[in-house]
Amino acid sequence: MRPTRSDFRRAAFSAALTCGALFATTSAQALNVFTCEPEWAALVKQLAPAADVRSATHARQDPHHIEARPSLIAQLRQADLAVCTGADLEAGWLPTLQQRSGNPRVQKGAPGMLFAADHLTLIDPRPNASASDGDVHAAGNPHAHLDPRRVLEIAEVLARRLEAVDPPGASGYRSRLAAFRTDWQARIAQWERRAAPLRGMRVAAQHSTFAYVWRWLGIEQVADLEPKPGVPPTPGHLQKILDAAKGAPPRAIVVSAHQDPRAGQWLAQQLGAGATLLQLPSTVTDEPPANTLAALFDHLIERLLAAQR
Ligand SMILES: [Zn+2]
């Protein structure tokens, strides 16, 4: 018997139903993760490759200051898990997003809201800082993702959180964490060997963004281009740095990819051939050469070594 038109229609209809059911299952199962910064999105992708992960900021944005846009509120509303830095880094925008999202899964204290800084020892706590000290991070320097050893500590916490919000995925999160741990520990050892010549290098930098890198690799930050934390460089402050640095100029002037490089450029020019301006990504970028967590550390070390030579 030849199939009739209505047979075709029925077949098409049932195919559509099957497809619809498949899509529904996939979207119901894909874990939705919101991160405040790209480094946490990169880490989530390592442990939960099937998750739908979005970062609120990208490498060319300053995570201290972004706008609580409606699109971000909508993203947070959908999230099963949110991963942010904490230690007040996002104090200017995340609370607004949390409140407007109306999503109970990502409110402070819920298992779906992970602040990395709550699980780390931060450097440079400033508990007695006042408003006149600038935009000080009282709990300590929040830019802790730039220490790969602390990244591993957060990977351990993140894997447990992923399990908590997605129990059926538990064994996958555990095995991917184990693989990440082995790989990452080997990389840390390699980075430390490769970066050995950087020990004792002197740098000037704008803000405390890279302080964890300096601490980890034995680099000394001799000046901050910001007169106070979070306050942009002023001509008077730059002149003071220049006067102090003339005898023994820092080897590199470091600014972040999201900062205006002009103050650093001026200082590097005044200091002459002894000092190189380095504009470095402070997080994972969309494009190479720093588009994964490992590539970010590779890139930072290579750029610093090139400036050191
Ligand atoms: Zn900061």
Per-residue pLDDT reduced to its tens digit, 42-78 = 999 999 999 999 999 999 999 999 999 999 999 999 9
pLDDT of residue 213 exceeding 70, the answer is yes
CA 115 – ligand 1 centroid, Å: 15
Residues 140 and 229 in one domain: no
Per residue in 284-293, pLDDT tens? 999 999 999 9
Based on the fold, state whether residues 95 and 150 are members of the same structural domain: yes
Q: How remote is the CA of residue 68 from the centroid of ligand 1, in Å? A: 18
What spacing in Å lies between the alpha carbon of 110 and ligand 1's midpoint?
25
> Is residue 13 very low, low, confident or very high in pLDDT (cuts 50, 70, 90)?
very low
pLDDT, position 273: 82
Which ranges constitute the DSSP H helices of 136-277?
148-165, 170-194, 211-217, 235-245, 262-271
Distance 241 CA to ligand 1 centre (A): 20
Do 181 and 205 belong to one domain?
A: no
Could you tell me where the beta strands, DSSP code E, fall in the chain?
A: 32-35, 52-55, 81-84, 113-115, 202-205, 220-224, 252-256, 276-280
Look at the chain and report how many structural domains it folds into.
Answer: 2
pLDDT of residue 1: 42
pLDDT at 241 over 90: yes
In-domain check, residue 140: yes
Kindly state whether residues 224 and 177 are assigned to the same domain. Answer: no
**CB-count exposure of residue 1 (10 Å: 0-12, 13-18, 19+):** exposed
Residue-level pLDDT at 162: 98
Residue 2 pLDDT > 70: no
Domain that holds residue 216: 196-308
Both 170 and 242 in a single domain? no
Question: How many Å is the maximal CA-CA distance in the chain?
Answer: 96
d(CA 228, CA 209): 13
pLDDT at 14: 46
Q: Is the pLDDT of residue 275 over 50?
A: yes
Q: How far is the CA of 71 from the centre of ligand 1 (A)?
A: 24
pLDDT of residue 27: 42
122-164 pLDDT per residue, tens:
999 988 888 788 778 889 999 999 999 999 999 999 999 999 9
CA of 296 to the centre of ligand 1 (A): 19
Asked if 213 and 147 touch (Cβ cutoff 8 Å), the reply is yes
Q: How far is the CA of 17 from the centre of ligand 1 (A)?
A: 51
Whether 1 is covered by a domain: the verdict is: no
pLDDT at 17 over 80: no
Residue 7 belongs to a domain = no
> In which residue are the tokens 């409606």 written?
70
How far apart are the C-alpha atoms of 65 and 88, rounded to whole Å?
A: 11
Instruction: Tell whether 88 and 168 lie within a shared domain.
Output: yes
Q: How far is the CA of 50 from the centre of ligand 1 (A)?
A: 31
pLDDT of residue 128: 85
Query: Nearest-CA neighbor of 137 among 196, 80, 209, 242?
Result: 209
Tell me the C-alpha distance between 136 and 286, whole Å: 29
Mean pLDDT calculated for residue range 179-184: 98
Check whether residue 156 and residue 34 sit in a common domain.
yes
Span from the CA of 143 to the centroid of ligand 1 (angstroms): 6
| CA 74–ligand 1 middle distance (angstroms) | 26
Q: How far is ligand 1, taken at its centre, from the CA of residue 49, in Å?
A: 29
One-letter amino acid of 290: A
Residues 294 and 280 in one domain: yes
Higher per-residue pLDDT: 207 or 8: 207
**Domain shared by 172 and 41, yes or no:** yes
Confidence (pLDDT) at 28: 54
Q: How confident is the model at residue 309 (pLDDT cuts 50, 70, 90)?
A: confident
| 164 plus 287 within the same structural domain | no
pLDDT confidence tier of residue 249, bands split at 50, 70 and 90: very high
Q: What percent of the chain has pLDDT over 70?
A: 91
Tell me, in angstroms, the distance from the centre of ligand 1 to residue 175's CA: 34
- Check whether residue 51 and residue 122 sit in a common domain: yes
Q: Give me the CATH number covering residue 274.
A: 3.40.50.1980
Q: What's the predicted TM-score (pTM) here?
A: 0.89
Q: Is residue 20 part of a domain?
A: no
CA of 213 to the centre of ligand 1 (A): 14
- Residues ≥6 apart with Cβ < 8 Å to 290: 59, 281, 284, 296, 299, 300
Computed over every residue of the chain, the mean pLDDT equals 91
Residues 221 and 139 occupy one common structural domain: no
